[in-house]
């Protein structure tokens, strides 16, 4: 049914659902994506908007979107000045989307648009704020992608990340959740790690990750490494502590070497100057690492306060009963 009024004509102007789509050089897949997304959204029979974020594409993505707006008024186009990356593009879309619910989805049809309907249904039935799309089957991904993805999620869990394994950025969020995410002062936030950390009530919907429908992956190794570095440092300051551990290990080593040097000196099996050189070199090395570790501890604390993540979120307070509820406004 396509006779629904577009959200622009609604009294309060706020659609029920915003679909946020980051796009970088997606001219090949864009027509296919629109063709499959539109029936799903029209079928929901609620006002919606499709917020397309053109992440500095160099191909015809933007002009295709301009053309698409003529026949599909719910499409909005936000163009970033330069390629700013997948996560930044999603954030840009979320910041401008007006929906009561917001879903983020890739443009390449790896996330099936039909699942959006299921996510909305689950959210409303189970009264949750977030519905994660969880990849139950990645057999269409390359072996390299599967192995690196597995390593990524395992590492994040080791470092203390919460949330489901294999939940990427295909996810439905309530307005309250998105507002909480956007209120975080950190730059380079990795949404798939930040959203579970906020702890809003959530549910999972499993889906099969399809093959990219057309075009090439826009995630070269360099962008994967960038995402991993942002994720590791966003989740934990543990790496800063490495210097402390190396320093302590260095001290043990220095002590052993010193003992060995003294013994060889006393038993007369030593080259002149060797013992003192070794002891000084290893002792100073260990001392420097320890000092770096101490610096690391302070930088870690600064980093955490710069991130300024709330230490908790209140789900219910009897004093304000009726006001806070599940954290939805």
| Site of interaction with ligand UDP (CB under 6 A) | 22-24, 26, 55, 83, 85-86, 89, 106-108, 110, 212, 217-219
Give the separation between CA 28 and CA 107, rounded to whole angstroms: 10
Q: How far is the CB of 213 from Mg ion (least distance, A)?
A: 9
Give whichever of 138 and 309 is closer to ligand UDP, judged by the CB atom: 138
Q: Are 137 and 208 in contact (CB under 8 A)?
A: yes
List the single partner that 23 binds among ligand UDP, Mg ion, none, CB under 5 to 8 Å by kind. Answer: ligand UDP
Give the separation between CA 20 and CA 90, rounded to whole angstroms: 7
> Which stretches of the chain are DSSP H helices?
30-44, 61-71, 86-96, 114-126, 143-158, 175-183, 191-198, 221-235, 242-266, 274-307
108 binds Mg ion (CB under 5 A): yes
Which of 61, 87, 110, 166 contacts Mg ion by CB under 5 A? 110
Q: How far is the CB of 100 from ligand UDP (least distance, A)?
A: 23
Give whichever of 161 and 227 is closer to ligand UDP, judged by the CB atom: 227
Determine the interface stretch with Mg ion among 43-51, 104-112, 259-267, 281-289 (rule: CB under 5 A). 104-112
**Closest to 22 in 3D by CA, of 120, 90, 96:** 90
Q: How far is the CB of 4 from Mg ion (least distance, A)?
A: 30
Q: Are 198 and 17 in contact (CB under 8 A)?
A: no
Q: How far is the CB of 108 from Mg ion (least distance, A)?
A: 4
Q: How far is the CB of 219 from ligand UDP (least distance, A)?
A: 4
Point out which residues pair with 104 in neighbouring strands: 20, 171
Q: How far is the CB of 172 from Mg ion (least distance, A)?
A: 19
**Closest to 173 in 3D by CA, of 245, 219, 225, 120:** 120
Give whichever of 127 and 208 is closer to ligand UDP, judged by the CB atom: 208
List the single partner that 86 binds among ligand UDP, Mg ion, none, CB under 5 to 8 Å by kind. Answer: ligand UDP
Give the separation between CA 189 and CA 94, rounded to whole angstroms: 13
* DSSP string covering 9-24: GSTT---SEEEEEEES
Residue located via tokens 């690391």: 296
Give whichever of 55 and 106 is closer to Mg ion, judged by the CB atom: 106
List the single partner that 85 binds among ligand UDP, Mg ion, none, CB under 5 to 8 Å by kind. Answer: ligand UDP
Helix 30-44 and helix 114-126, axial crossing angle in degrees, nearest 10: 40
List the single partner that 219 binds among Mg ion, ligand UDP, none, CB under 5 to 8 Å by kind. Answer: ligand UDP
Instruction: State the residues that interact with Mg ion by CB under 5 A.
Output: 106, 108, 110
């Amino acid at each position: 049914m396509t006779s629904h009024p577009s959200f622009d004509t609604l009294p309060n102007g706020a659609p029920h659902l915003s679909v946020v789509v980051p796009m970088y050089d997606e001219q090949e897949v864009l027509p296919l994506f629109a063709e499959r997304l539109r029936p799903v959204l029209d079928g929901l029979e609620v006002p919606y908007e499709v917020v397309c974020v053109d992440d500095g594409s160099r191909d015809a993505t933007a002009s295709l979107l301009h053309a698409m707006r003529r026949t599909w008024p719910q499409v909005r186009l936000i163009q970033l000045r330069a390629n700013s990356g997948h996560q930044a593009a999603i954030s840009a879309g979320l910041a401008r989307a007006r929906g009561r619910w917001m879903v983020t989805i890739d443009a390449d049809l790896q996330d099936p648009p039909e699942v959006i309907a299921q996510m909305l249904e689950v959210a409303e039935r189970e009264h949750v704020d977030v519905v994660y799309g969880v990849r139950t089957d990645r057999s269409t991904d390359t072996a390299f992608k599967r192995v690196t993805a597995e390593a990524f999620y395992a590492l994040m869990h080791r470092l203390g990340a919460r949330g489901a394994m294999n939940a990427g950025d295909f996810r439905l969020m309530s307005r309250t959740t998105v507002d909480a995410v956007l209120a975080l002062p950190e730059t380079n936030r990795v949404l798939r790690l930040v959203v579970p950390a906020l702890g809003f009530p959530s549910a999972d919907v499993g889906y099969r990750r399809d093959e990219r429908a057309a075009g090439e992956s826009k995630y070269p190794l360099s962008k994967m490494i960038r995402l991993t570095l942002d994720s590791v440092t966003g989740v934990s300051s543990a790496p800063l502590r490495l210097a402390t551990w190396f320093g302590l290990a260095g001290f043990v080593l220095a002590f052993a070497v010193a003992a060995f040097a003294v013994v060889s000196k006393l038993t007369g099996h030593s080259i002149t100057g060797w013992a003192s050189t070794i002891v000084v070199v290893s002792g100073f090395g260990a001392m420097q690492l320890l000092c770096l570790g101490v610096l690391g501890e302070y930088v870690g604390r600064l980093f955490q306060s710069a991130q300024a993540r709330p230490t908790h979120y209140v789900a219910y307070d009897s004093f304000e009963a009726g006001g806070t509820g599940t954290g939805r406004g």
